[in-house]
Amino acid sequence: MEHLKEIIDYGIIGLLALMSFIALWLTIERLLFYRKVDLKSYRKKEELAIDLSANLSAIATIASSAPYIGLLGTVLGIILTFYTMGERGVAETKEIMSGLALALKATAMGLVVAIPATIFYNMLVRKVEVLLARWEIIHGA
């Protein structure tokens, strides 16, 4: 069961940290692209929409799946705590609380990743809507 603790500590938390980095990186990439996009060079609105919405689904996927990955870590941590309690018979309160704190750490990390990713996604979707509206103004569509 010691492996389960390492999976929670390094696997789940590490995966969530990686997801956070990817979401931030994709957001920065999109913002830089939006800053330099030339709306006049696009003849079709659909082509512009495709270019503007690239990578948005990845950010949305990270935002929606991070809480579930955190929850998985919580469930694994609670399983570990109960297994340890059952193996030793009567467990001390300190051991139980440490196990539950480990479990809840994963949920907290999942939320720490999901909340900013959701904000990034919504901010970028709004930026896409504004750029598409500006394209329509420029092209008289």
What is the domain count for the chain? 1
The percent of residues in the chain predicted with pLDDT above 90, rounded, is 66
Please give the residue range of the domain that contains residue 122: 2-139
| pLDDT given at position 35 | 97
- In order of 13, 84, 96, 117, the CA distances from 71 in angstroms are 11, 20, 18, 17
Q: Cβ distance 41 to 77 under 8 Å? A: no
The string of pLDDT tens digits covering residues 98-132 is 778 878 999 999 999 999 999 999 999 999 999 99
Q: Cβ distance 11 to 72 under 8 Å? A: no
Lowest-confidence segment of 7-11, 15-19, 33-37, 60-64 by average pLDDT? 7-11
Section 68-85 average pLDDT: 88
Q: Is 7 exposed, middle or buried (0-12, 13-18, 19+ CB in 10 A)?
A: middle
| pLDDT given at position 141 | 66
| pLDDT given at position 103 | 82
| pLDDT given at position 87 | 79
Q: Cβ distance 90 to 137 under 8 Å? A: no
